[in-house]
Each structure stands twice: as structure tokens, then as C-alpha cells.
Structure 1
Amino acid sequence: MRQHGRVSSQPVIDPLSVAALDTERHVAASGWDQPARLFALVRTADLLEREPQLRAGMGPADFAEGALTAIEQEGLPQTSSLETLLGRIAWPQEVDGCAFAIERMVVPPEAERDLPTRSDDAVEALASHPDRKDVRLLVAVLRDGSSICLLRQREHDSDDAVATGRDLAPGLVEALRATLTD
């Protein structure tokens, strides 16, 4: 389509990015101070083949080629050790990927140098730091190795600004990929 002498085209967004953004908005709708949340990502076409009654509740975007549907995993055990939690998860082959949302406090690197060694004291020191930023991180990965990370800051929550990147949380990306290996 030509407009004003230029070729116009819609931006192409991959299904993983679309699913991650939709999942992050879903999590954001519940506000802040939430526990970690885990989602299975499945190809929508495969899901509808197994569960045709879901078709009525879906919109046009859900039928795009390669579209993914996020299915929240209820009853996620609450633990302070992300490694322990993710180390216990193994997805069946019907699951094409997963997404994990978690809230964190971020401080400048110099603030981390003088943290107390006892974890409860360290958390308290971080929480009271004047330059602390509250963020929500959503990481989504697929079996083929592709990934995306989304970051929302609490202070910019009202403007719906979400930063995206492939390497915002490399450790979490790798931990989630490990849940998908056979």
C-alpha cells in the first residue's frame, strides 16, 4: 500500500513476542506485589485441536500463523530460591515454551557492594534504599531456543511502558530453557 509516496507496511511481530506482551499485560492487570507466576506456552492451533470449545472465546489475532496461547500454572510453590523452583519443572512435549513473571527490586551496582550478608537484612537494606526501583520481569522462551524478556518499572506503570530485549535476564532465560529439555 502506498501512502504519501512511501511504501507502508505493518510491523511484523513474532508469535513469541505477541504472547509475551499479552501475558505481561495479563499479569500487570492484577497490579503489583504479586508472587511469581508461571505460564505454559502452547501453539494455539494445537490447543484448539485438543480443546475446540475454546475457539468461541478467541479473537482474530489468536488465529494468526504460529500464534501461542499462555496457560497459567496455578499453585506455584512459593520459595525464595528461583533455582530450586525452576529446577523442579519439566514440561511435556505438548508445551512449546514457557513464560515466567517475577517482581524484583533493582538498585545501582554501588548499593549492592555494602549489603549485609544475612539475606533478610540484605532484603531490608534493598527495600529501604533511596534509589531502589521496583520492576516486573517477564521472560518467555520456546523449545527452539528463542526468547524474549520484558521489563516494566512500577514508576512507569501508568504509561504502559515496557522495555523489551533478548538478554535482559540471561540467567533466567537459561533456567527456563532447561525446563524444556528432554
Structure 2
Amino acid sequence: MTSEISARTRALAVTCVEIERHVGTRGWDGPIAVFSLVRSAQIVAASPHLAQELPDGAAEDPEHLTSIEQDGLPEAETLEDLLAQLAWPETVDGAAIVVERMVVPPEAEAQMPTDPEEGLAYLMAHPDRQDMRIAVGVLRTGETWCALRSRANDSDDAVAGGPDAVPGLAQALASTLR
């Protein structure tokens, strides 16, 4: 994270990294996890007793976000189907999702078979395959952040991030806020 990003984007970045770490405590090969994001000051205004549950200074920081994991996600065959079923009330400032995906270099992806079963077999056997955990967060105000961890470099100090690392997923998640 650089000083060139806004305070709001910085807060989203911190939240995405925290969410990725939280989901990472469960190990690899886990299910999709979805989170609502709410400004911590808004939570404390509605329920002052919750201030003690937040990190020091969070209640006073207008950009600090609290993530709330969503249980009981709807049944869905694909990630796209799941996202199509999500909607958030206006009290939610943003959303985050954590997924695991296999990635290969672009030149290998270009050679991947179009048949889904053959494509999966190709990915599983490819020597340059990387397993990635991807946490994407979006805010109603338009900010996005992606935190990425590879299984091959599974340590907190090796989590990469940026505002547009996984733009398609960020756009799809943002559509759930409209």
C-alpha cells in the first residue's frame, strides 16, 4: 500500500488483507466466503457497547471497516450464480468475497482445452499451475481492493494486493451492491 491511495481505499485494503488472513486460518481448499463491510463508526453509533469489540481508534476513524461473515449462503452451481443471488441493504457500505482459484501463465491459458472437464484436467496437470486465494473487496463509493496469496508462498508477508488485480471479480461483486 502506498501513500498515493485514499484513506478509504487504504481502509478497504487493510480489511481485505484481514479477511484473507481470517479465511486462511481455515487452511486451503475451503468454500467461498462472503462478507458484508460496514463502517465501524456506523456500528458504534447504532450500538455503542460494540466499541469495546473494535481495535483501538476504529470507532473514531470514519473510514475503518468492520467485516461480517455471511452464513447460510444460497446454493449455487457457480460463482457467477452465487453473486447473482446476493443483494445488500443500504446500511452495508461494501462487500468482500474470498475464493480459491488455479492460475497458469497466459501462454498456458491460451492452450487450455475448451471442454470444461478437459480444461480442469489440463490445469491440474500443468507444471506452472499456482493455487491462489483471492480476497476482493468493493465499496458502494467505487473503491476496490484485491489481496492475493499463493499456496506456494503461504505466508502473511507474501500477500500481494492492488486495486485492480482481479477486475472481473471486483465488477461482479460491485454489481451486488446496486
Normalising by structure 2, report the TM-score.
Answer: 0.87
CA offsets, 1:12-31, max 9 Å, x none? 85221221121111111211
Among 85, 91, 97, the alignment partner of 1:94 is 91
The residue that corresponds to 1:6 in the other structure is none
Matched pairs, number = 172
**1:46 pairs with 2:46:** no
Percent identity, aligned pairs only?
47
Q: For the structure 1 residues 12 and 166, does the alpha-carbon distance in structure 2 shift closer, same or farther, using more than 3 Å as the test?
A: closer
**1:19 pairs with 2:15:** yes
Alpha-carbon RMSD across the aligned residues, in angstroms, is 2.1
Note the C-alpha offset of 1:121: 2.8
CA offsets, 1:121-173, max 9 Å, x none? 32122112111100011111100101111111111113531111111111111
Note the C-alpha offset of 1:61: 4.5
**Which residue identity is paired with 1:167?**
D
Note the C-alpha offset of 1:65: 3.0
Q: SS at 1:160's partner residue?
A: helix
Q: SS at 1:85's partner residue?
A: helix
Normalising by structure 1, report the TM-score.
Answer: 0.85
Q: For the structure 1 residues 61 and 119, does the alpha-carbon distance in structure 2 shift closer, same or farther, using more than 3 Å as the test?
A: farther
Q: For the structure 1 residues 66 and 162, does the alpha-carbon distance in structure 2 shift closer, same or farther, using more than 3 Å as the test?
A: same
Structure with the greater alpha carbon radius of gyration: 1
Whose helix proportion is higher, 1 or 2? 2
In 2: Cα distance, 1:40 partner to 1:78 partner: 18
Note the C-alpha offset of 1:35: 0.9
Q: SS at 1:60's partner residue?
A: coil
In 2: Cα distance, 1:124 partner to 1:53 partner: 52
Q: Which moved more, 1:75-84 or 1:29-38?
A: 75-84
In 1: Cα distance, 2:77 partner to 2:57 partner: 37
Q: For the structure 1 residues 104 and 120, does the alpha-carbon distance in structure 2 shift closer, same or farther, using more than 3 Å as the test?
A: same
The residue that corresponds to 1:3 in the other structure is none
Unaligned runs of 5+ in 2: none
Structure number with greater CO (CA < 8 Å, separation at least 6) is 2
**1:173 pairs with 2:170:** yes
Unaligned runs of 5+ in 1: 1-8
